[in-house]
Structure 1
Amino acid sequence: MAYDYGQFTKDIHKKTGINLFLYKEAQMKRRLTSLYEKKGYSNFRDFYTAIEKDRQLLNEFLDRMTINVTEFYRNEKRWAVLNEKIIPRLLNQNKNLKIWSAACSTGEEPYTIAMILSNYLPLSEISIKATDIDDNAIAKAKLGVYPERSLNEVPEAIKKKYFSQDGNFYAVSPEIKNRVTFKKQNLLADHYDPNHDLIVCRNVMIYFTEQAKEEIYHKFSEALRPGGVLFVGSTEQIFNPAKYGLETEDTFFYRKK
């Protein structure tokens, strides 16, 4: 039997626990074909054989699969709503916020959340969980060093306070890095902790099938405490939030009923 994309997805699932069937096939297949051709392979069989032997190639595959395109304060107006409206309400209900940055990619998002929270709380009282499926992205996040373009939206005062410049790169300060705990998680397969005040998951759901999206939104809703908020990306508006036990608090912010 010919080795095809379907067999590749089964082998990857066995090796990594990642189920590529839950991603849009045409989009993912195109992205991965581009990667293996760039690396000098001509089909999925040869590509998988190489992945088995080469940890670096496996990391590159994971990196390509998870599309790490992000920056600090991405869509700055939405972060202003979080800062001025959502966080004050949440803190009014509970001073010890449980916050999760889901599919955090290379760390810009959870570090942004920590910087915003520092407007309201001493850093010692801030704790954020950040998860991603990609070991490569998590390693970059823990390093906390970013190209200048990643800081385009960062307010100047925050840039001076929480970053140190080294040539064209900027390092996040240790006091912000220490507020974030990174761990690996598969949103489709792994357990979600309960009773979160805020879950931030942005610019990721567009890569999932409708069935996978529904499953994840249900799980996010269950992982929020009543009054807790899900903050999604600017192309990911939930058109029927009541289906998940949520209601719109602001554009792209959904409160658990």
Structure 2
Amino acid sequence: MSGDYEQFTYQIKMKTGIDLALYKEAQMKRRLTSLYEKKGYGSFKEYFSAINRDHTLFNEFLDRITINVSEFYRNYKRWEVLEKTILPKVLKRTKRPRVWSAACSSGEEPYTLAMIMAKYLPLSEVKILATDIDENVHSRAKLGIYPERSLQEAPEDIKRKYFIKEGGFYKVADEIKRTVSFKTHNLLADPFGTSYDLIICRNVLIYFTEEAKELLYHKFAKSLNPEGILFVGSTEQIFNAGQYGFEVEDTFFYKKSL
């Protein structure tokens, strides 16, 4: 590792908490060298000095290093079902639901959930656990800065209420950020918490083997309260849900059987 790049990774970690050393060095170095050369800089030292002064440059840097891709309100119609059908039922059972966003990537999903829950509860009472195996995406999520494309399905009133526009990027309002706690968690290896009323795990199960999926379905069921809900992605329908202790509540929503 060159001294210039090594110093840059140290400075970025101090500024953002993102540890570039955890990424494959050759790929990340090539990606960032291409970026700073396009902007007219001759070294990582010059580039850090520039992004430290310029919000737009800094946001472009964050966008470039993001590997995980997600969106706010991804598959909007499913979030609409959550808001109008599922969440009211959850809140009938408990006014302070325990909620977990599993494999949360860079934070769009738990922040979307917080914005929806805010329609029913004061934000001071909204508490969401968000977990992912990748520590780097936690750092990105905590910063809460996203490119415009991440908000393409977000309703306009939500954009106005909970985002601050900075150039071509959007920053999540602090009141939303405070509702989410990010932690590192390996779905396949680590134990699960218990007594959840709602678990969201979308667009990650498709990457697992059938055996791993079955293991996870059982673990999710054990983690939920009776009648608790598991919300999965739009390519992740659970067949034979009953064998895991679930019944179909709606398309891509599964309720733990009593």
Task: Say whether the fold is shared (TM-score over 0.5).
Answer: yes
Q: Name the structure 2 match of 1:129.
A: 129
Determine the C-alpha separation between the residues in 1 that align with 2:93 and 2:197.
Answer: 10
Q: Name the structure 1 match of 2:174.
A: 174
Tell me the TM-score normalized by structure 1.
Answer: 0.76
Q: Name the structure 2 match of 1:99.
A: 99
Determine the C-alpha separation between the residues in 2 that align with 1:199 and 1:60.
Answer: 32
**Secondary structure class of the residue paired with 1:165:** strand
Runs of 4+ in 1 over 6 A off after TM superposition: none
Unaligned runs of 5+ in 1: 1-54
Q: Name the structure 1 match of 2:214.
A: 214
* Count of aligned residue pairs for this structure pair: 200
Map 1:235-246 to 2 at 5 A.
235-246=235-246
Map 1:46-195 to 2 at 5 A.
56-60=20-24, 68-195=68-195
Q: 1:97 deviation in Å? A: 0.4
Q: 1:68 deviation in Å? A: 1.4
**Secondary structure class of the residue paired with 1:80:** helix
**Secondary structure class of the residue paired with 1:238:** coil
Q: CA RMSD in A?
A: 1.5
Which AA in structure 2 matches 1:171? Answer: K
Which AA in structure 2 matches 1:119? Answer: K
Q: 1:210 deviation in Å? A: 1.0
**Secondary structure class of the residue paired with 1:71:** coil
Tell me the TM-score normalized by structure 2.
Answer: 0.75
Determine the C-alpha separation between the residues in 2 that align with 1:84 and 1:56.
Answer: 41
Output one character per residue of 1:15-74: Cα deviation in whole Å (capped at 9) or x when no partner.
Answer: xxxxxxxxxxxxxxxxxxxxxxxxxxxxxxxxxxxxxxxx6353349x9xx961210000
Output one character per residue of 1:115-169: Cα deviation in whole Å (capped at 9) or x when no partner.
Answer: 0000000001100000000011111111100000000011111100000000000
Q: Name the structure 2 match of 1:225.
A: 225
Determine the C-alpha separation between the residues in 2 that align with 1:73 and 1:138.
Answer: 19
Determine the C-alpha separation between the residues in 1 that align with 2:88 and 2:114.
Answer: 14
**Secondary structure class of the residue paired with 1:192:** coil
Determine the C-alpha separation between the residues in 2 that align with 1:98 and 1:189.
Answer: 22
Determine the C-alpha separation between the residues in 2 that align with 1:231 and 1:249.
Answer: 10
Residues 59 and 135, structure 1, Cα contact 8 Å, conserved in 2: no
Output one character per residue of 1:147-196: Cα deviation in whole Å (capped at 9) or x when no partner.
Answer: 00000011111100000000000000000000000000000111111110
Unaligned runs of 5+ in 2: 1-18, 29-65
Determine the C-alpha separation between the residues in 2 that align with 1:112 and 1:75.
Answer: 12
Q: Name the structure 2 match of 1:15.
A: none
